[in-house]
Structures are given as structure tokens and as C-alpha cells.
Amino acid sequence: GANATGATNAALIYQSAFAFQTIQIAAYTDPEEAAAFISVCQPLCDPYQIYVVAAEVNHTKWYRIRVGIFNNKTDLNSALDRILPALKTAAAWDGKHFIATATNHFGWLCPSPDGSFLIFSLMNAIYRYNNRDQKLVCLYKPAIYAPENKTNAILSPDGEKVAFLDESGRLRVMSAQGDQLITILNR
């Protein structure tokens, strides 16, 4: 239902290596609850886009609801000051839903040459975001996550291949669709 119980009073800020920042306002394990929360919050967050990042944490799929993409902290803080009071009023946190407890590490954001998709790394996993259908696909997931490992996937100039260092420090290459994974160099 429309019982939005996200943790709006604990908005989290994420910053990547290239100063991309966003605000996480809630996370749910149930996609219908996430959709209900978004329907309540969307009018309150206008003109900023609300989007969902699906991720697995401890073998549980979470739908992390985020607001906006900001190039600098001034714009982010201005948006946060504007939307947070309204979100607190609309949906109080009931303590039942997961909220990230640490800042996630975003790697490089690599747009394809034609602009149809983006490749980026988040917590050592590599993702492809298709702009046309707005689908997020995990292309590579490490066997173990360690914050000190920096995946930093990079897209080839023709947009066909993705190169990255895996959790063991090996240089690896795969297609931009996530298949044809090969090891180029072992450390």
C-alpha cells in the first residue's frame, strides 16, 4: 500500500571519484513498498529525479531509493534543505527498513560513445545502465567485497569492451554486455 516507511530522516550522501553526488532517502526489500514510497515522495522531490538502485546485501535484494544527481555539494545541500522537511512530514521512519550504514564507493562513470549506456563501478561490482530502457544490469560481481579494492571499470573508445582490475588485482577485459571475460594480466 501507500504506507511509506522509508528512513527520510537519515538521508545519506554519496560522492564518487568524479564528484557525482546523490541523496539516498530509503531502502526496501519489497519492490511494491519501494514503488509506494516513490509515489508519495515524487511530488515532494520535484524537480529532482527519483531513481532506484537495486543491489544485493548479505544475500538480500534491496531497492535503494535515491534523489537527484548533483555535480557539487552546494547544489546537493540546497536540494537536501528543500526536500528533507517535506519528506519527514510525508513518511516517518518506523525502524523496519535497511538504511546504508557506510558510504558506498563509486568508481569512474564511463558513457558510451553514442550515449546509449553508462558503465560504472559500485562497491567493486561493475554495472551497465541503459539510458533508453532505464535498465541497470550487473556485469561483474566480485567474489568478495573489500573497500580497499578499487575496480574502476573503464570503457574502450569504441564502447565495445570494459577493462578493470578485479578483487585479486588482475587486469580483466569483457564485452560491454558483460560476457567474453578474459584475464589480460595477473599480478
Domain containing 177 — which CATH number? 2.40.10
- DSSP symbol at 60: E
Work out how many domains the chain is built from and give that number.
Answer: 2
Q: At what angle do helices 73-90 and 31-45 cross, to 10 degrees?
A: 110
CA 159 – CA 117 distance, rounded (Å): 9
Please give the residue range of the domain that contains residue 55.
8-90
pLDDT at residue 14, as a whole number = 42
In a domain, 71, yes or no: yes
Say how many residues make up the chain: 187
Look up the CATH number of the domain holding residue 20: 3.30.70.1070
pLDDT at residue 147, as a whole number = 53
Does one domain contain both 46 and 115? Answer: no
Residue after which a domain boundary falls, among 28, 55, 90? 90
Cβ-proximal residues to 122 (8 Å cutoff; 6+ apart), any chain = 53, 55, 104, 105, 106, 107
pLDDT at residue 161, as a whole number = 97
In a domain, 166, yes or no: yes
Does one domain contain both 82 and 144? Answer: no
Query: Which amino acid is present at 113?
Result: P
Does one domain contain both 76 and 122? Answer: no
Q: Which residues pair with 174 in a beta bridge?
A: 162
pLDDT in tens, the chain (187 residues): 333 333 333 444 444 444 457 777 778 888 888 888 888 888 888 888 787 877 777 788 888 888 877 766 788 788 888 887 777 766 655 544 443 333 345 567 788 999 899 898 876 788 898 888 878 888 988 766 555 566 678 999 999 999 988 878 889 999 999 999 999 887 6
DSSP H or E stretch at residue 162? strand 161-165
Cβ-proximal residues to 77 (8 Å cutoff; 6+ apart), any chain = none
Cβ-proximal residues to 47 (8 Å cutoff; 6+ apart), any chain = none
In a domain, 96, yes or no: no
